[in-house]
Structure 1
Amino acid sequence: MTFQQALKDSEQFKTRHALLGNGFSIACRPNIFLYGKLYEKADFSELSPYVKKAFEALSTQDFERVIKALRDTKEIIRVYRGTDTTLIEQLQKDADGLRELLVQTIAACHPAWPGEIFEHEYTACREFIGNFKTVYTLNYDLLLYWAQMHTQDGEDPNSDDGFRKPEDDFEATYVTWEPWNSKTQTMWFLHGALHLFDAGSETQKYTWINTGVRLIDQIREALNKDYYPIFVSEGTSREKYAKIKHNDYLAKGYRSFCEIGGCLFIYGHSLAANDEHFLKRIENGKLKKIYVSIFGDPNSTQNKEIIERANRMATARKYGGLEVAFYAAESAKVWG
């Protein structure tokens, strides 16, 4: 069906929610956010020469897949050759270095400031996300945040990301997230984002309004100081879930997603196995129906896999029943 037909069908439910995948960002700037483009622009010079060869050996440009392969290989070698600590340490170092390179590359390739997104694109995106009570994203970039904050002069944003001025420092150049501010929260970065930083005792968000410095420049400055954003890029679902559990913001976002009812629109996500920690929650949760976007030919290999995984969610639901429907991603016109 078309996106508009899906919206009409969803009127039977009290609430609509959205889960965004990388296709949301690709639809805006495909020359930036496709994994292949990130690979082309990544500077591997500071890593061991084996890292790039690992991409070639696996015939992939997917950072997460290589990170997973390096960590899996480390564990296998630990079993077979536990005394070979040099190789084990090198594999761990390369996996960690590759994760950090992914962060740096996304930041370096990201649009420099909100003005690089056109007005008509913001208008279309805000119309799209305005259909949903809560928007959850698995992306790390700033596009959703920029779109939510892009309002007319004097108009407050109609979304809430849960961040507020620190109670003990109203002069701070950043804002912080606390659990008690999440009751009205309508936007969640489930895997972290480039503008959210783990400051040890608190989760900080860098903002332009408090500094006059472009968000992406603040992020780059932080990266140069070896400060890294909250960024879940581990290769497997199990590893991602472990990272989520150890951060208060991410854990709360995960619990929020587990509790949603009504219906869920999934846009731009391949329902891949490395995000099973969220797909399982759909299977076992309170949602009555999910609408899954399909881009291009429904009979393509990738789309057949998406359709099969979505249908398995319905058959796996033990109580309450779960309906599945599919809509054409292009018809949503997320960015106009």
Structure 2
Amino acid sequence: MPQIREWNEISDRYHQGTLLLGNGSSIAVNDCFRYDSLFEEACSLGYINEQVQQVFEEFGVSDFELVLRRLWQAKKVNEALGVEPGRVEEAYSLVRKALINTVRDVHVSYEEASPHLESIYHYMMNFDTVISLNYDLIVYWAAQLSREELGVWFKDCFNKSEFRSDWADLREPYRADGTTLFFIHMVTWYFEEKASLARGK
């Protein structure tokens, strides 16, 4: 059985590796990013209707990512069985937009986050690559603040709204050292919205 270790015990083995940031890193800055808080807020703001609330209740969770994954899996099952697209896809889109909109509405201010930003960028600079799975601006703010001390250390890979499939090229830092940032959900959301606009939805 795998053994879970404290990061400080093993960190020297992973110098300049890849850091994957999930929702816990945002919660460490502010509790407003906890899934239970986000879920309650999404329901109270009307971003999640009663029918989709029942999906969360069925799984006994307030975890948006788990529900999104299950809906995505249901979509794949439907595709394999030849079931016409419909309510599952609508629910997936609703949950995803609810998460994005709720994070936007409850997001901490820069002033509230600022006491944490310096320690965040000092930690991130120990890695070649940082991949953020979050929908908030904490990592982006930390990278921007770092310029005062580090200059252009972090490369965020935003590329004038152009999709780049050559990730090897994107990983090249601006300088001999540095850290490459990838904001996975932000990029995915941008292109999904762009595709929806193109379809007139």
Mark yes or no: TM-score above 0.5.
yes
- Of 92, 115, 118, the residue aligned with 1:95 is 92
Query: What corresponds to 2:153 in structure 1?
Result: 158
Structure-1 separation of matches of 2:75 and 2:89: 7
Q: For the Cα contact (< 8 Å) 2:157–2:182, is it kept in 1?
A: no
Q: For the Cα contact (< 8 Å) 1:136–1:190, is it kept in 2?
A: yes
How big is the alpha-carbon RMSD for the aligned residues of Structure 1 and Structure 2? 3.8
Q: Which amino acid aligns with 2:13?
A: S
Q: For the Cα contact (< 8 Å) 2:154–2:180, is it kept in 1?
A: yes
- Of 125, 131, 139, the residue aligned with 1:144 is 139
Matched, 1:135 2:130: yes
Query: What corresponds to 1:184 in structure 2?
Result: 173
How far the C-alpha of 1:40 sits from its partner, in A, is 0.9
- Of 113, 119, 139, the residue aligned with 1:117 is 113
Alignment of 1:166-177 (within 5 A): 166=160
How far the C-alpha of 1:19 sits from its partner, in A, is 2.2
Q: For the Cα contact (< 8 Å) 1:142–1:193, is it kept in 2?
A: no
Matched, 1:10 2:13: yes
* Secondary structure in 2 matching 1:45: coil
How far the C-alpha of 1:4 sits from its partner, in A, is 4.3
- Seq. identity, %: 24
Structure 1 residues 99, 150: CA separation in 2 closer, same or farther (over 3 Å shift)? same
Query: What corresponds to 2:38 in structure 1?
Result: 38
Q: What are the superposed Cα offsets for residues 210-239 of structure 1, whole Å, 9 maximum, x if unpaired?
A: xxxxxxxxxxxxxxxx87xxxxxxxxxxxx
Q: Which amino acid aligns with 2:59?
A: L
Structure 1 residues 187, 57: CA separation in 2 closer, same or farther (over 3 Å shift)? same
Query: What corresponds to 2:51 in structure 1?
Result: 50
Q: Which amino acid aligns with 1:192?
A: H
Larger Rg: 1
Alignment of 1:196-211 (within 5 A): 197-198=190-191
Greater percentage in strand:
1
Structure 1: gaps (5+ residues): 167-174, 202-225, 228-336
Structure 2: gaps (5+ residues): none
Structure 1 residues 131, 200: CA separation in 2 closer, same or farther (over 3 Å shift)? same
Structure 1 residues 48, 139: CA separation in 2 closer, same or farther (over 3 Å shift)? closer
Structure-2 separation of matches of 1:176 and 1:78: 29
Query: What corresponds to 2:25 in structure 1?
Result: 24
Q: Which amino acid aligns with 1:102?
A: L
Q: For the Cα contact (< 8 Å) 1:136–1:188, is it kept in 2?
A: yes
Q: Which amino acid aligns with 2:135?
A: Y
What is the total number of aligned residue pairs between the two structures?
184
Structure-1 separation of matches of 2:73 and 2:188: 30
Q: For the Cα contact (< 8 Å) 1:142–1:194, is it kept in 2?
A: no
Q: Which amino acid aligns with 1:161?
A: D
Structure-2 separation of matches of 1:125 and 1:150: 10
Structure-2 separation of matches of 1:76 and 1:176: 32
Structure 1 residues 48, 56: CA separation in 2 closer, same or farther (over 3 Å shift)? same
Q: What are the superposed Cα offsets for residues 26-50 of structure 1, whole Å, 9 maximum, x if unpaired?
A: 1111x22211111011046365531
Structure 1 residues 188, 25: CA separation in 2 closer, same or farther (over 3 Å shift)? same
Q: Which amino acid aligns with 2:111?
A: G
Structure-2 separation of matches of 1:70 and 1:177: 26
